[in-house]
Structure 1
């Protein structure tokens, strides 16, 4: 943290040293009356942005009528966004179908840490009620972090100039098993002292009851080993607070922002296995109880000072973001021979503590070189500290744990990353053409300390640097049509669990795994080319083709055989040790279509429709040959309509979503995942000018998630198709109904 303190001290004098008058707030930034936000009275569509880089923008009102609980629920209506979550869950964004680690999640344009080992941030941590808009940034620019191979999702929270007034939100949800849950919130914006203040508080219950059923065979088409009947219930509450204050300061405009979200959640899985596929007490093999208590806190604090002076405009930022994830999980399994005679009892407890913090600071300066040419340059600094502690203990006697908790192998480590990223960018326009070009240089120093590794390997240090050029242009063909082209080089940094040098026993089937602290990031050169047309005053239609050439892919490699002898030239079978290296290359490509428009042309100006369709494909060579990027759906489609009845003060609508199959192949396991169709509806009624009530129904088609697992003991068996187990699993949840009311004041 010494570097963090040094950077903070260096920027502090600048925050107070600029002393020229600030320009008045733009008229376009004047706050909106709350009643205009909670009562729309007409269909709401995608924004047509003026950003040169290809960006899709959606205001909260675009999603709000279907009452999404979280940002993840809202993003189901955005082009090319997929999820591989359980039914009724929307956590890790898979932009263009790629793993969540390939998508950069930003809050108010700033990076945020997540608890996952793939560096992703779960967007279901943010209540949808807090957002002002969501931006899908398809290609990178030099003034943003380059961790965006698939693109970036920028979640813009409401700021102090968003609202004038306040409103209360309250509602109830009914689930398919008859359970009720509740939600409520309060939002206020207005003048306080010399500036403007926004405050928001939100509490919402989260509940997800699912039923699962699995059939396990010794191999495809073989005999049934057993079946498993399982209930899986996620039950919890989210608490959120957000605040923003903007005030004239030191000759400029100072903005202070804060966000806190706490998730308290219990995940309970209860399963029973029956031999030979016969569900009866006589064939009952095991009963398993698995409960995980989770408490996750997300913090985000920021200060931004914007200052115009004789030599342009300077923006200084300081930020602190953190996530603490505490989980306590126990699993009890009782085996019978036969039921009710107990043959064996096993119990395990797992205590996990993860803390990931990021201190950031940045300097940016913009200079108008002419009326049509602007230069921007700056530097961004990030100091990340990630501490992981995973403790475990086991028992074969109910209620008795003779051994104390001990750290699991690879479960007691600290990772520190320091980044200093300077950049320069040039933007211009002339006639029908607007453009930007930029160059970013990202440097990363990494230190890894793993207390569970061999003493000689406990401390590892590495560093790398990447030059990331980018360019975008927008060409207006006429008043309604425009072309957008972008090219950018981006990176994906290694997963945290790949960096630890600890040797994990039987991590891959019956084989071991050891991480590689010398991994470098994957890199990508990408292109986007799109066409966009304005339809009337409010509609827009667009099509975009994209391509990513990904190099230095992190893939599994064989290190040694069971005796520790390098495998090259060895024919010895047995337990192998695997690791990961930058050895692969791949391609990602696809076409994205989106339509959002009122039906003015057929006289239905109060009816709005949207249609998103993405065709996705990719290719990568792994240890078994060619495949797509893991778990990439081959298509994503969503469509819907809203219809307003102004004379009744009412509205209704529906939305539909479906994503294609996804296939994943890793060492010793292959998974094919299929999702059912998702249908949502809403009915809305307004009362006067300040009350709106909505009834929404989601998952009305009882969407299921179906998975096929091909499991092997090791790579040799996987190549020979010598199965350890072949499993078919399906999970299903029923409809959810919400009744939500908002009252403006």
Structure 2
């Protein structure tokens, strides 16, 4: 059955291609400047050098960067025909994606800073809903810099949106994907033009999605009478929805030394999830809630707009000012019907979250010589969140003191920085930075007619030092080192003092440790990390590279969720409650190796230099230890012991056809979450393949399959008293076909 939707999608795309070719003659696209034949006149030599500098490869940009970073442009973004940025990120060396959130250095999602055009991504933003065609490039930095926030213990991923082109651009991409039940269409269109000193780009994309998730679970725990309760469950969920992205940009050259840019980004997504759980009782009395079915619907929309003014002065002076604003809103509704157990129940949830923010930043740069520059800057942000949530069960408020009460939080971030970039000699260069950042979070929670005011304040001083040494003057063999301070601020959700109840167990009775209620902790302190990084990079003449990097982080005031049995205000009996706490310190270290390039250059004894085969691979090893927890698995949360990333693409000589594949593998591991709780995660594997056929320079067809031969991920949580939970999800393969047209 799976073949029919893909065949239909392929037929549709081929028909669209034939229709497009017959309806209009293909417009020849201008040959890239770097491919123009050199003219005999010597006066054109400077022009050729200038053009090549504008079209430097990703590897060349990486080699010239003052701090260690990886840069991925159009070649990597378009390679597999991905419809979302998450699928691009999961194949990058040193990056893995779990639940749509990218992670680096094997650490959890909160340790990796996500930026959009150099600014923090808005709350609720997901890489799953951003089309790679709207992205200019992705920059992955392993160490923090003074210019950007130092909330990057694992590193920073900066998503640079589409920039206005230097010449006319007319692109259209039509896609059809299949994961479950029926095909899902998508499109991306880009219009770019230049009018004298004004250039513009209007990228827009739309998509639909439909997925099917199935899982099996098992819980061996205790009921409210401390008697054994052993149940198994089978769950099935169907999700569907769609969305649209729009990212217009205008660049205006006011003068030879003055520019003004306006960039906006609009995103709207809608989702629906319908699920059913059937539970079998193996031991103990029937629990309060046995079987259930639910329907969850919602929407999320965001608008961000920024102005960027740049002015260059005499004697190497430069001033940049940025002003931005954003607003986002999420609304959702969930209806649940308990179909079994001691008593049928109905539960209804309504939620409405609004986020609004303003940002203002600037920097002043002064040249201190031909290869020495000083920069001073500031970064200001104000964000406000208003949240209302209501949960009713059988027509009555679940928590009368909290349901429907407004929650308000304000975040004020103030930062100042200075950085000094100095090329000491053709072989030595250094970067000094100092950033001071203060974050103040205030919240108001209405309860029982009263308003509770909470405040959390943190101040972090982050000194940074990066040092580069070119073993040869051309910079093809390089050693990088850095000593930095970074931190991880508590998320707003972790600071909220509003409880979330595990409704499987009624508030009139106790709940087991395996099914705790949840609440935030307004007294959390940020995690501080001191880091050391050393890397060796070798760049080959054909564009390939080899790198090996080592890192170490010493983390203070690690945040972890812990479970406590305590008296609570929302129940008449003691309940188990999970809340984030500053547990202890931790250490993490690792080594990451990367190799990529043409096969003939990397392995000349096996491949002819003319072979159109590109290879890439990375291997990473991670170790960590959390103080105060028993070993041997007292590692940082979600950190796998090692990861393997392999890939290739091969261009046939006889046909305009390119084939490729990528494999990401991580082993299973255990994590000691608390002194009494151990989490075990099974191995994971992701195999992606693609084929691209070039009909002409304007038309191409790409077929791809992601998560081929999918594994079924398994998670087990084991408690020291013998209680445990088990969950297994069933993976699926995603097929896609994309037709790209350039006019």
TM normalised by structure 2 equals: 0.83
Asked if the contact 2:379–2:416 (Cα under 8 Å) also holds between the matched residues in 1, the reply is: yes
**1:115-146 Cα distance to aligned partner (Å, 9 max, x none):** 3xxxxx53223222211111111001111111
Equivalent residue in structure 1 for 2:146, among 142, 148, 164: 142
Asked if the contact 1:323–1:355 (Cα under 8 Å) also holds between the matched residues in 2, the reply is: yes
Q: CA deviation at 1:113?
A: 2.0
**Stretch deviating more after TM superposition (49-58 or 459-468):** 459-468
**Stretch deviating more after TM superposition (320-329 or 656-665):** 656-665
SS in 1 for 2:88: helix
**1:27-48 Cα distance to aligned partner (Å, 9 max, x none):** 559998xxxx9xxxxx997963
Q: CA deviation at 1:510?
A: 7.0
> In 2, Cα distance between the equivalents of 1:69 and 1:357?
28
Equivalent residue in structure 1 for 2:701, among 687, 693, 712: 693
- Aligned-residue CA RMSD in angstroms? 3.3
Asked if the contact 2:77–2:133 (Cα under 8 Å) also holds between the matched residues in 1, the reply is: no
Asked if the contact 1:45–1:62 (Cα under 8 Å) also holds between the matched residues in 2, the reply is: no
Equivalent residue in structure 2 for 1:427, among 402, 421, 428: 421
Equivalent residue in structure 2 for 1:619, among 625, 629, 643: 625
> In 2, Cα distance between the equivalents of 1:556 and 1:209?
30
**1:160-218 Cα distance to aligned partner (Å, 9 max, x none):** 0376321111021123x442111112112121363111111111122221221223335
The answer to whether the aligner puts 1:473 opposite 2:471 as a matched pair is: no
Q: 1:422 to 1:690 in 2, by over 3 A?
A: same
Correspondence for 2:40: none
SS in 2 for 1:491: strand
Asked if the contact 1:218–1:225 (Cα under 8 Å) also holds between the matched residues in 2, the reply is: yes
Asked if the contact 1:247–1:253 (Cα under 8 Å) also holds between the matched residues in 2, the reply is: yes
The answer to whether the aligner puts 1:658 opposite 2:658 as a matched pair is: no
Correspondence for 2:725: 727
Q: 1:594 to 1:461 in 2, by over 3 A?
A: same
Q: 1:48 to 1:462 in 2, by over 3 A?
A: closer
Asked if the contact 2:335–2:347 (Cα under 8 Å) also holds between the matched residues in 1, the reply is: yes
Asked if the contact 1:54–1:484 (Cα under 8 Å) also holds between the matched residues in 2, the reply is: yes
Q: CA deviation at 1:512?
A: 6.4
**1:378-401 Cα distance to aligned partner (Å, 9 max, x none):** 111111212222211111xxxxx3
The answer to whether the aligner puts 1:244 opposite 2:249 as a matched pair is: yes
The answer to whether the aligner puts 1:190 opposite 2:193 as a matched pair is: yes
**1:464-499 Cα distance to aligned partner (Å, 9 max, x none):** 321110011111112321011112111111122332
Task: Considering fraction of residues, name the structure with more strand.
Answer: 1
**1:329-372 Cα distance to aligned partner (Å, 9 max, x none):** 12211116xxxxxx521121111222223311111011111112
RCO greater where, 1 or 2, for CA within 8 Å and sep 6 or more?
Answer: 1
Correspondence for 1:264: 270
SS in 1 for 2:64: coil
Q: CA deviation at 1:413?
A: 1.9
Correspondence for 1:384: 383
> In 2, Cα distance between the equivalents of 1:666 and 1:299?
38
- The 5 A counterparts of 1:252-401 are 252-276=258-282, 286-310=290-314, 312-335=317-340, 344-395=343-394, 401=395
Q: Can you give the 5+ residue segments of structure 2 that lack an aligned partner in the other structure?
A: 1-46, 503-510
- The 5 A counterparts of 1:464-543 are 464-478=458-472, 479=474, 480-502=476-498, 515-543=520-548
Q: CA deviation at 1:452?
A: 3.2
Correspondence for 1:644: 651
Asked if the contact 1:188–1:199 (Cα under 8 Å) also holds between the matched residues in 2, the reply is: yes
> In 2, Cα distance between the equivalents of 1:411 and 1:595?
55
Asked if the contact 2:598–2:612 (Cα under 8 Å) also holds between the matched residues in 1, the reply is: yes
Q: 1:622 to 1:320 in 2, by over 3 A?
A: farther
Correspondence for 2:735: 737
Q: 1:446 to 1:673 in 2, by over 3 A?
A: same
Q: CA deviation at 1:97?
A: 2.0
The answer to whether the aligner puts 1:417 opposite 2:411 as a matched pair is: yes
Correspondence for 1:683: 691
SS in 2 for 1:310: coil
> In 2, Cα distance between the equivalents of 1:488 and 1:597?
31
Q: 1:610 to 1:326 in 2, by over 3 A?
A: same
> In 1, Cα distance between the equivalents of 2:515 and 2:211?
34
Asked if the contact 2:649–2:661 (Cα under 8 Å) also holds between the matched residues in 1, the reply is: yes
Correspondence for 2:26: none
**1:592-632 Cα distance to aligned partner (Å, 9 max, x none):** 11112111232154110110221112111356677111121
Asked if the contact 1:46–1:540 (Cα under 8 Å) also holds between the matched residues in 2, the reply is: no
Asked if the contact 2:401–2:448 (Cα under 8 Å) also holds between the matched residues in 1, the reply is: no
> In 2, Cα distance between the equivalents of 1:606 and 1:381?
49
- The 5 A counterparts of 1:62-101 are 62-85=76-99, 91-101=100-110
SS in 1 for 2:490: coil
Equivalent residue in structure 2 for 1:50, among 57, 64, 68: 64
Asked if the contact 1:49–1:56 (Cα under 8 Å) also holds between the matched residues in 2, the reply is: no
Aligned residues: 665
Correspondence for 1:21: none
> In 2, Cα distance between the equivalents of 1:213 and 1:583?
32
**Stretch deviating more after TM superposition (224-233 or 500-509):** 500-509
SS in 1 for 2:151: coil
Q: 1:466 to 1:44 in 2, by over 3 A?
A: closer
